[in-house]
Amino acid sequence: MRAKVGALTRLNGSHRQGADSRKLSRQLDSYNREAIGGLVVPDATRMWSRRGPKFSPGAPRTGPDTMGKAAAHVRSRCLPRISLVAGVSPSLQPFRKPPLKLSAALPAWSIAAPALAWSLLAASYFGLGQLLGAFFTVLLVLGLFAGVLAAVFHAEVVAHRVGEPYGTLVLAIAVTAIEVALIVSLMIAGGPETTGLARDTVFAAVMIILNGMVGLCLLAGGRKHGEQTFGLYGVSAALATLTAISVLTMVLPNYTTTTAGPVYSNSQLAFIAIVSLVLYGTFVLVQTVRHRDYFLPEAAANEEVHAAPPTARMAATSAALLFACLVSVVLLAKSLSPTVEAAVAAAGAPKALVGIIIAAVVLLPESIAAYQAARANRLQTSLNLALGSALASIGLTIPAVAIVSLVTGWTLSLGIDIKSTVLLVLSIIVATLSLGTGRTTVMQGTVHLVIFAVYLFTTIVP
């Protein structure tokens, strides 16, 4: 191939006519296709016009040897950037903008944000909020969003260190584990009156993820990139697991006869808890070991793959700060829940809206990370986050609250009502259809967001 380029450079300055320019263009075009399997080097043949050589900045436009210098410039500036798919020298790099580079140290704001959140929690614990009143509530909200943004940043650092799909799995399991701990603590503190808390929280999380988060990601990504693609096998596996585990935990309890619904008997509850763990554990095994390639983003669309990963020390620091951020987000959401409840009651809205608001706040880190991935044309990563979060929310929450129910003897209500069942089944069917082709546009995102709007509206106006 180098010999061919050398032959092309022998077209010297005496060949400056339009026909010779087009001949050189065609020869370069032929070489580019042979070199990289049909992919033409950008701007390699567009440097010439019908009027003769018209070169890029930095190359001579006139002179007795313009064509010879032009060919030399093509060889020195274009060929070293041919993609590695041609099997050319490993030093050659493809045409793309430089990948995102992480600095040697974490930015100061990513460390200050969790410190601010925990300072506000400490101030709230010692009663400072009663002195400052509404101003302290504003500070809590600011601390909450600062913790969310810092959590997203540290999750991206950890994800870049461990690689996909482990990075998305880390964030999903971390958020869900803290959410489970919050639900269990509220159930223990609230007693038998909180029998439906786990059901309401899990259903709200599934609807927020399956319609709100997925819809927003599809709409944002489709609006910026037109059409986006993803791995069909991984998404299909996630949807199949989500459908089975959702119906078994939230729909089937309404139709069992051993105990009148919407509850399971003790033996049924233990069996469903084991089934939930088996389904989620198998999915994680498939995602991380057996068929990991199903969940990997396309390298061509994921520029972060080409960036140098952070150091082990930076990743460990980010992991610790990620945990601190997530715990602070959950605790701040819990601290703000009385204010939210009072605002909802003052507006005359149903109390179920409080659970939706808290679930949305807890899911903010995952939602922002998924949205950013979709905007960056990494829809596979975005769907890994969304569907993985929904699976973790059910697969970890139901077994945990089942253990609490069996140990304490409290009745655990898991079955949802008819209206919620219709919305859940509709969401699963639409998700199966919209994500069943491997390609999405703004149409699919709009449908999901409309269903989410209907869910919110019928919650406020039953």
Output the pLDDT for position 93.
Answer: 40
Mean pLDDT of 259-264: 86
**pLDDT band at 85; cut points 50, 70, 90:** very low
115 contacts: CB under 8 Å, gap ≥ 6:
none
Which of 207, 203, 206 has the alpha carbon at shortest distance from 416? 203
Output the pLDDT for position 22.
Answer: 53
Which of 262, 195, 240, 244 has the alpha carbon at shortest distance from 420? 262
In sequence order, what E strands does 13-171 have? 48-49, 52-53
Output the pLDDT for position 430.
Answer: 95
Contact between 448 and 387 (Cβ < 8 Å) = no
Residue 379: phi and psi, rounded to 5, are -65, -30
Q: Is the pLDDT higher at 306 or at 349?
A: 349
Residue 156: phi and psi, rounded to 5, are -70, -35
Q: Please count the other Cβ atoms lying within 10 Å of the Cβ belonging to residue 19.
A: 9
Res. 440: pLDDT tops 90 = yes
Q: Please provide the average confidence, as pLDDT, over all residues in the chain.
A: 76
Output the pLDDT for position 81.
Answer: 43
**pLDDT band at 248; cut points 50, 70, 90:** very high
Output the pLDDT for position 360.
Answer: 81
Output the pLDDT for position 17.
Answer: 46
pLDDT per residue over 406-433, tens digit each?
A: 888 888 889 999 999 999 999 999 999 9
Mean pLDDT of 19-42: 48
The residues facing 53 across adjacent strands are 48
Output the pLDDT for position 307.
Answer: 59
- State the pairing for strand pair 439-440/228-229: antiparallel
Mean pLDDT of 159-184: 74
Q: How far apart are CA 55 and CA 69, in angstroms?
A: 10
Residue spans of the domains in the chain: they are: 2-86, 131-460
The class (CATH top level) of 131-460 is: mainly alpha
Output the pLDDT for position 235.
Answer: 92
Output the pLDDT for position 243.
Answer: 94
Most confident of 273-277, 327-331, 401-405: 273-277
